[in-house]
Structure 1
Amino acid sequence: MNAVQLVRRTAAAHASVPLALGLLVVLVALAATAWPRLLAGVGDRQVTHEVARAGPLSRDVVAVVPGAWPRPPAPADGAGLPADVAAVHAGNLAFLDRVRAEQPEPLRSILGDPHLTVETGRVRIAAAPEGVVGSPEVTLKVDPLLGEQVELTAGAWPAAPTVVQPFDDLTQEQYRDLTVGEVADRRARADAATGALEVVLAEAAAQTLEWPVGSERTVPGTGVPLRLTGTFRPVDPDAPFWAHNPHSASAHVVDDLDRGTSAVASAYLDPAWDGALPVGFPVGTVSTRVWFPVAGDAVAADQVDTTSAQLRSLVAADVPWAGTGATLALSTDLPDVLEQVRAQQRTTATVLAVVAAGPVGVVLAVFWLGARLVTSRRRTALGLVAGRGGTGPQLRAALALEGLVVGLPAAAVGALLAVRLVPGTLTAGDLVVPLLVGLVPAVALAAAPLPGGLPERRADVGRTRARLRVGTECAVLALAAVGVVLVLGRDPAASTSAGVDPLVAAVPLLLALAACVLVLRVYPWPLRAVERVLHRRRDLPLFLGAARAVREPTGGLVPAAALVVGVGVAVFSTVLTSTLAHAVESTAWRSLGADIRVSGPIVTPELAARVAAVDGVGDVARLADAGRVHLTGAGDSRRVALVAVDARAMRGVQAGAVGVPPVPVGLAGADGGRLPALIATAVGVAPGQDGLRVAVGDGVDLAVVAVADAVGGARVVDDAAVVVDAATLEELTGTALRPRVLLVDVADGVDPEVVRERVRAAVPGARTESLADATATYFDAPTTAGTAQALRVAVGLSALLVVVALVLTQMLAAPRRAGVLAVLRALGTEPRGSRHVVAWELAPLALAALVAGALLGVAVPAVVLGALDVGALTGGAAPSRPVLDPLLLGAVGAGLLVVTAGAVVASTSISSRADVAARLRLGEDG
């Protein structure tokens, strides 16, 4: 039998481990191929989510040209409009189409078909007799494409007005010679010849204005009335079109206690109207509004940076309006939205890179253990081949070939499964990672240590690389320390890339390696102490187990790294999950200020009492916005938002608040004529600072009882808020407050959504927001949901890899362990003593790795959290420190402990049943 045949027969005889490696390759290739496809899907969904949530007024590209109605020449094709309409609007639409066509991709495809409207100022019209609306107003509007958005529900479309001008037949000298009576007579005859201007209204607006179809409304200051010829209904009331036309689908109604009820609606003229109006018609100015709609799903995740740059370039330059003297100054908030998306992409990519790096490290460690196990099982055959003249390169080439046979087909299967299971676009780059995964077994087998001959060598004898090990360990510890220092001094807003932050992603790996170094260096110390104690006892198995754990630790660095990193990733993922959840809940509390927030109508004491009586409501507190006031003191003056609350009730409502400081006890009641105040940190006031005064009434001095970084429920744009007790403010200044916000606490054990519906029924027409909805908004965002899902997967995958690492470690040590146990059994040791030896083999390292991994999992979030813009994911301020959930951490820790203990117990039970005679016959050959 030649050497090749021997290696081939040996491989066939020990096929279980290569098959297990092949299965591992399938799983890793599947995950490696699916991971970027999943991330791309999450990125696309997040961009769509944020752009759609921004709303049309923020994301669309808009321009408003006040006081002008540009009239460029119409193209020959009339832009597809009727001839009379094309004469007025086709030139503008063609010009806007050219503006869009001149933009580079992808911006050109992102911009939708342009829209254009022309609108006058508000025109006061006569109110309906005994009508509810005492001050009705309309704006006259023209939209050449209105018919695409509405359907006529009554009457007919208006006809284009024919306006007769009273002085067109006169020269300037003749006009100056007219008497006042002649001017009035000419205007009256011109108005009569013009007749009424025909308009259409939305059906809902006509009902609000109490304006029947076919009737006329006079316009003060002119003899030309408005006639309503028809009403329309939006084809899609939720279409983005109506955001740009806020008074078109329905009238805007304002109820004022002093001025009564007023309403304004948009009345549409025929689109062929040329802009001429009767002399003296009170329309004020005319403005032209154009916009390019941007669909919520128009921007792809990989186009965020390019689109943002192109948009900023577009809005930075004024575009000359062809054929006119006007310019088109476009604006949009979409670049800011995309900048927020980029921050989310950067944070998500870095977090997921940190999470993924751990399992990748454990997988590599598992592959290395598997390769060592293969060479260990082939030790006898490889030794014989080496004895017959086989060189090291030949042996490694044979092992590498076996790794290729196992790895490449398995990687292809894993990649194919990923492509079939996870939707997405397949590119050549997507196949690079699974190809590398397929090469890992070959590299690991080729790099695994080969035996020098038949006898095995003790791992603790002949260590010639001690100095190299010390130098390497010192370098790892130094790199970890430098990385921590750099990350702690990192500003998360400093990075402009949308990709992974390499420094933040690398530091957890460096910390993991440093933890492994410390474990291997530190854990033998207590074991040596235990060994010395057991040396004086008569129990041989216990002493032997402790001695072997010190002198010949199972597996060395690789299994220690696998255990430490696996446990660290599980704990890190758990801590980050609870930190994100706490940050989201804190953001929601800061915005709402209570379990339920009711806003809109004036909250009278009777209304507050009615809500408090709702079943399931605990406490209620009124909140009033007292406006912006001047805060003076220490030679400085600034405007702040004054918020008045019921301090005592507020403490009850926010008793269980997350991330919101409690309302101070001293906020209620005057302090020697001074007004106690809780001041936001953004104001820049120190606690207890004297000499502060707010300009309310005749002015009142403040007593600063507390300074807080957030005021729950205040909703102040710049966070510069001063919170005072409402009763004390009224007592000291005589100010009459009109609170429009009611904060509602839900009683313990009651479903908040049920209570919300009851409150909504008690206060019809009010806006009700719940804490559950606010948190769900953030948790349902694709990046937040995807990150949370990835963290949960990382916990499960880490536990699985820990099990695999433990099993391979035990299998790797099985031959030597079996020999030791056989000798012990031959010397008369009981099976229980054999189990002690096996337990000592793995338990100390596993216990040390569990402790180190747990500490690593808590330390990594503490280090990297400040360098991650987590606020981009949570919608608020980034958490400054990790949040430890004892229940969640306890469950994960207990699971890992059970997994580790199970592996030790199973290995102990199996090894204690070793065949004594067979092992003694094999002797040192294993």
Structure 2
Amino acid sequence: MTNWVRLRLRAAPGAALALGVLVLLTSFLAAAFPRGVDAYESHAIRDQISAASPDRSAYQVTSGPPGAQRPQRERAAALAPGPLGEQYREVRERLPDLVRFDPAQSAYGVRTPEALVASDAWLPRPDGLPPKLTLTAQSGLAEHSRVREGRLPRGTGPVTDDGGAEGAGQTDRLEVEAAVTRDTAKALGLRIGSRVHLDAVGTTALSARIVGIVDPRAPQKTYWSIDPLLRSPGLATEKVAGDTPKHFWVGALLLSPDAGPSLLSATGTPQTFWRLANDPSHLTGREVTRLREQVAALENGPTLVAMREAIGPTAAISTEVDTIVGEFGDMRKAVAPVVAVAAFGVGTVAAIVLLMAGGLAAARRRAELTLLRSRGGSLVGVGRRLLAETSVVALPAAALGFTLAVVLVREVRLVPALLAAAAVAALACCALPARAVAAHRRTLTSMERTDVVRAKPSRRRVVAELTALVLAVGAVAALRQRGTASGEVDALVSAAPVLVGAIAALLLVRLYPLPLRLAARPATRRRGVLGFLALARAGRAQATGALPLLALIIALSTASFGGSVLAGVDDARERASILAVGADARVDDSKGLPKKLAAALREVPGVRQVVPAHIEYDLWLNDDGDQVALVAIDPAAYNRLARHVGMGQVPEKALRGDRGAVVPAIASPGVAKRLGTGPQKLRPLGGDITVKVAAVREGTPATQTSEYLLIDADRLARPYPTAMLMAGSGSHGSGIDMAAVRAAVGTGATGADRGADAAARAAGLTPRQGDDAGKASARGEGSVRVKARAEEYAGLADSPLQDGTERLYAAAVAAGAGYAALAVLLSLLQATPERTALLARLRTMGLTRRQGRRLLVLEALPQALLAACGGVLVGYGTIRLLAPGLDLTRLALSARAGFDELGTVRLHADALSLVIPAVGVVLLTLAVVLAQAWWSGRRKENTELRAGESR
């Protein structure tokens, strides 16, 4: 056996090398796929936790003060850094294995549970209310801050049994040293030496003396961001009975870590805390379910009981990691069935190509194997020899492909990739022996025809075809009925495109002889011989040609399916970004924009058009409280903008109308129904008008509200621009220089700061909802908002799970196209010896080289056109059949809210994805055939035709 293998490898090193390369690539793809899925899922969950705000992702352990029955000195001693540090270590030891944290950003300490009122009259009061401040004695203040002025605060000494601090004197007021950040000092007017008097709720009045102003180190990380008040103050609201909500400042004073005991006498009930910064770098996508279970046990389970045994019976643990992980799980469930469809398609095509490679080798060695059988070789013996040949090549190649996948895609599971590579190796090893044994089970005479015209399907084949048909119908019905919203990966449903392609290929093979017969009849009456000969040759192709056709159709349908998925996702994001911005870029200010701003924006690089618009979002239609958006804009300019962004235009003539007292308007369906057909008086800020609905349109890019009224800006008495809509160059307006736009507008922000609401929530106060412009005004900021369509488009695909899925589909499209090319090459190479011998014979009869090329092209075209047309039709039919069951919303929009108008994002056929792979197959076929004709033309006829050969 060893000598046989050695001789065969020496006799055909090129064939062995080609098989090794094919197995290597297929094994690499098979092993890289599950590792790639694991990798991007792991990256996605880590990124999702890291991108969440620290107050959501961190683990916060809190506890009340020591028991009131204990002496004051003992209660105060329990709040010192030493005991708190011991409890911190016990908390760390009791955490589950998947709950890991970053010690550098974690901290512990004592804080006032509620903000205390600062009674000093010199502190700023936006609406007449005094500010409220929290006091926090947190560990690691020196390591996480940089002293800008003064020094860091020091402790006040131990607390005595009467409630005061030792050395503080017998007074009714306790003074502590505090530091503030630069933002807090600027907002509240604090400086070194300032004394802030706080209305204490404990036994001793409290005041704080500012001894230092610090700058946070890494202010966006957990140490400073888990409680936003530590870093910067914010505005909160308080609603007084019978009055409008009023705003006041909330902030934080930073005490020395040793000053925790002093808060016991000042507040009576200080809160101890241990804040653990989340470290998700170890998490993998497959551990998400177990992490949720451990977090649940940490919040309300046995782990919480263990924590209370360590730090006290009032201990509580809060985190939103379970919510974050749940959002990731929902996203993964939404995309997993879509990914499975691509995996089944590419995997099937790869398996067919490996079988075709075995079939090609078996056909090339038919004479050799026939000789072995005639000399007494058994089927088992022949199979063993061929298995040994292929194993020597396929097993090392599969191992090398697996190794490459492991090296390139790291830190994920080995078992799925190993099983996939092993399946490829097994198929590659068994393809040649199985095809050879099947072909030599019975002896064929040289006169028997096995072409597609004469071959009759066996009963077994009919049963197999009917079974595949039933499975395909069931898969399509299941996918259309259940869809992919459940998130469960069903093998039958995922294989629906493959089954549809298989049925179509079998049907085309059955119908293929009919057009050949019909085309051959008129060809017999023509003077030239090439047409008839080419059709006769095409009809004499072997019946086993169904396998290349099956590979081509499934590969083409997989490529078109994947391309349509990517095109559908891109189209949904395109429409969503238009709905979010309404133009390539826009500037909004409800208070009004200067008219000269339009001229300045036109000078910005990349801006091609600027359309000023007057937009009011709170126009009252009647006394019942109905509010809609009023859009006053130049119709001609608006239509140019609408054409650019791809949204519906408005009838300019209807808006212009006559210059009478009644103003024609374009209304949304809901507004048109409420206004009716007659004139209606309205009172916008731009001047009173009487409007009448002239036309109804579903939406407008000028406003993001569904209920609107659009009029000609010239019909307002006092129009003033509140928005500037811009059209620019590049995809999604990416050619616009947004930095220059913001510089022209005079703002560097894209919206109002949300820090105030977060600060209010951290202080336990009611945040003000809405009115971002008023909040920005109270803080001395502008109310201008700048939005860019390219930024919105990019934001819709900011999840690594989306990015990984899209790259996987792009790889599926490329792999499908590559395997289609391999299928074409293998099918043409299988007939190369016979085709070369035919040309040699015909040239001895006077056929020219040019006629030989035409003959080969005409012979290959029917099958190539059949595969191309079949691929297009099957791809289109598959998309139409499966589109109702595929939900691409999560994949396209990253679970973003605010795009209800888009509805569910469904799969739709993309013309380029359907046509380009099919055209590529035809062109590749022609290129290979012409190359074969050129190569055979260089060789002499006597080298191809030898006496005694049967070719």
- TM score, norm. by length of structure 1: 0.79
- Give the number of equivalent residue pairs: 868
Which shifted more, 914-923 or 529-538? 914-923
Separation in structure 1 between the aligned mates of residue 417 and residue 200 of structure 2, nearest angstrom: 72
Is 1:394 the counterpart of 2:384? The answer is no
Picking from 692, 707, 711, the partner of 1:722 is 707
Is 1:275 the counterpart of 2:263? The answer is yes
* Cα deviations by residue, 1:426-447 (Å, 9 ceiling, x for unpaired): 7355333223322223211121
Picking from 835, 848, 870, the partner of 2:866 is 848
Q: Secondary structure at the match of 1:297?
A: helix
Picking from 276, 279, 283, the partner of 1:299 is 283
Q: Secondary structure at the match of 1:791?
A: helix
* Cα deviations by residue, 1:419-477 (Å, 9 ceiling, x for unpaired): 34443357355333223322223211121133445854421498564343333333323
- Map residues 117-156 of structure 1 onto 2, 5 A cutoff: 117-126=111-120, 128=122, 137-145=131-139, 147=141, 148-156=143-151
TM-superposed CA distance for 1:508, in Å, is 1.3
- Map residues 83-162 of structure 1 onto 2, 5 A cutoff: 86-87=78-79, 101-102=93-94, 104-107=96-99, 113=106, 115=108, 117-126=111-120, 128=122, 137-145=131-139, 147=141, 148-158=143-153
* Cα deviations by residue, 1:813-844 (Å, 9 ceiling, x for unpaired): 23433454444444444444444443343221
TM-superposed CA distance for 1:202, in Å, is 1.4
TM-superposed CA distance for 1:275, in Å, is 3.4
Separation in structure 1 between the aligned mates of residue 454 and residue 187 of structure 2, nearest angstrom: 96
Q: Secondary structure at the match of 2:214?
A: strand
TM-superposed CA distance for 1:516, in Å, is 1.0
Separation in structure 2 between the aligned mates of residue 364 and residue 823 of structure 1, nearest angstrom: 37
What is the letter of the counterpart of residue 458 of structure 2? A
Q: 1:885–1:437: structure 2 CA closer, same or farther, 3 Å change rule?
A: closer
What is the letter of the counterpart of residue 469 of structure 2? L
Q: 2:16 aligns to what?
A: 18
Q: 2:215 aligns to what?
A: 233
What is the letter of the counterpart of residue 722 of structure 1? E
TM-superposed CA distance for 1:136, in Å, is 5.9
What is the letter of the counterpart of residue 227 of structure 1? R
Mapped contact 1:593–1:743 kept (Cα < 8 A): no
Which shifted more, 822-831 or 26-35? 822-831
- Map residues 174-193 of structure 1 onto 2, 5 A cutoff: none
Q: 1:813–1:775: structure 2 CA closer, same or farther, 3 Å change rule?
A: same
Separation in structure 1 between the aligned mates of residue 122 and residue 197 of structure 2, nearest angstrom: 11
Picking from 417, 422, 441, the partner of 1:435 is 422
Mapped contact 2:556–2:816 kept (Cα < 8 A): yes
Separation in structure 2 between the aligned mates of residue 205 and residue 263 of structure 1, nearest angstrom: 10
Separation in structure 1 between the aligned mates of residue 656 and residue 250 of structure 2, nearest angstrom: 43
- Map residues 562-573 of structure 1 onto 2, 5 A cutoff: 562-573=551-562
* Cα deviations by residue, 1:670-695 (Å, 9 ceiling, x for unpaired): 9989997537xxxxx69847799999
Q: Secondary structure at the match of 2:746?
A: coil
Q: Secondary structure at the match of 1:489?
A: helix
Is 1:407 the counterpart of 2:394? The answer is yes
Mapped contact 2:449–2:455 kept (Cα < 8 A): no
Q: 1:199–1:899: structure 2 CA closer, same or farther, 3 Å change rule?
A: same
Separation in structure 1 between the aligned mates of residue 903 and residue 260 of structure 2, nearest angstrom: 55
Q: 1:536 aligns to what?
A: 525
* Cα deviations by residue, 1:51-100 (Å, 9 ceiling, x for unpaired): 222222332345788xxx4336999xx9xxx9967435776776676566
Mapped contact 2:153–2:178 kept (Cα < 8 A): yes
Separation in structure 2 between the aligned mates of residue 287 and residue 674 of structure 1, nearest angstrom: 64
Q: 1:177 aligns to what?
A: none
Q: 1:582–1:879: structure 2 CA closer, same or farther, 3 Å change rule?
A: farther
What is the letter of the counterpart of residue 145 of structure 2? V
What is the letter of the counterpart of residue 678 of structure 1? S
TM-superposed CA distance for 1:159, in Å, is 5.5
Q: 2:480 aligns to what?
A: 488
Is 1:446 the counterpart of 2:433? The answer is yes
What is the letter of the counterpart of residue 227 of structure 2? N
TM-superposed CA distance for 1:484, in Å, is 1.5
Q: 1:297–1:828: structure 2 CA closer, same or farther, 3 Å change rule?
A: same
Q: 2:450 aligns to what?
A: 459
Picking from 560, 567, 571, the partner of 1:582 is 571
RMSD: 5.1
Mapped contact 2:54–2:221 kept (Cα < 8 A): no
Is 1:814 the counterpart of 2:832? The answer is yes
Which shifted more, 100-109 or 189-198? 189-198
Q: 1:711–1:784: structure 2 CA closer, same or farther, 3 Å change rule?
A: farther
- Map residues 777-792 of structure 1 onto 2, 5 A cutoff: 777-779=795-797, 781-792=799-810
Q: 1:340 aligns to what?
A: 327
What is the letter of the counterpart of residue 873 of structure 2? L
Picking from 404, 419, 437, the partner of 2:406 is 419
5+ residue gaps, structure 2, are 239-243, 685-689, 751-785, 897-901
TM-superposed CA distance for 1:589, in Å, is 2.7
Separation in structure 1 between the aligned mates of residue 152 and residue 864 of structure 2, nearest angstrom: 83
Mapped contact 2:682–2:691 kept (Cα < 8 A): no
Mapped contact 1:567–1:853 kept (Cα < 8 A): yes
Q: 2:609 aligns to what?
A: 618
Picking from 365, 383, 393, the partner of 1:378 is 365
* Cα deviations by residue, 1:274-294 (Å, 9 ceiling, x for unpaired): 43567xxxx999877765432
What is the letter of the counterpart of residue 746 of structure 1? A
Q: 2:668 aligns to what?
A: 678
Q: 1:907–1:378: structure 2 CA closer, same or farther, 3 Å change rule?
A: same
Is 1:517 the counterpart of 2:506? The answer is yes
5+ residue gaps, structure 1, are 170-188, 634-638, 680-684
Separation in structure 1 between the aligned mates of residue 53 and residue 816 of structure 2, nearest angstrom: 41
Mapped contact 1:131–1:210 kept (Cα < 8 A): no
Q: 1:433–1:440: structure 2 CA closer, same or farther, 3 Å change rule?
A: same
Q: Secondary structure at the match of 1:903?
A: helix
- Map residues 667-816 of structure 1 onto 2, 5 A cutoff: 678=668, 688=673, 708=698, 722-724=707-709, 742=723, 744-748=725-729, 752=734, 754-765=736-747, 766-767=749-750, 768-779=786-797, 781-816=799-834
Q: 1:476 aligns to what?
A: 468
* Cα deviations by residue, 1:292-320 (Å, 9 ceiling, x for unpaired): 43235353222122223433454456968
TM-superposed CA distance for 1:402, in Å, is 1.4
Q: Secondary structure at the match of 1:446?
A: helix
Q: 2:241 aligns to what?
A: none
Is 1:906 the counterpart of 2:931? The answer is yes
* Cα deviations by residue, 1:24-63 (Å, 9 ceiling, x for unpaired): 1122222223333333222222222222222223323457
Separation in structure 1 between the aligned mates of residue 694 and residue 323 of structure 2, nearest angstrom: 37
TM-superposed CA distance for 1:268, in Å, is 3.2
Q: 1:176 aligns to what?
A: none
Q: 1:309–1:160: structure 2 CA closer, same or farther, 3 Å change rule?
A: same
Q: 2:769 aligns to what?
A: none
Q: Percent identity?
A: 24
Q: 1:215–1:825: structure 2 CA closer, same or farther, 3 Å change rule?
A: closer
Which shifted more, 752-761 or 593-602? 593-602
Q: 1:247 aligns to what?
A: 229
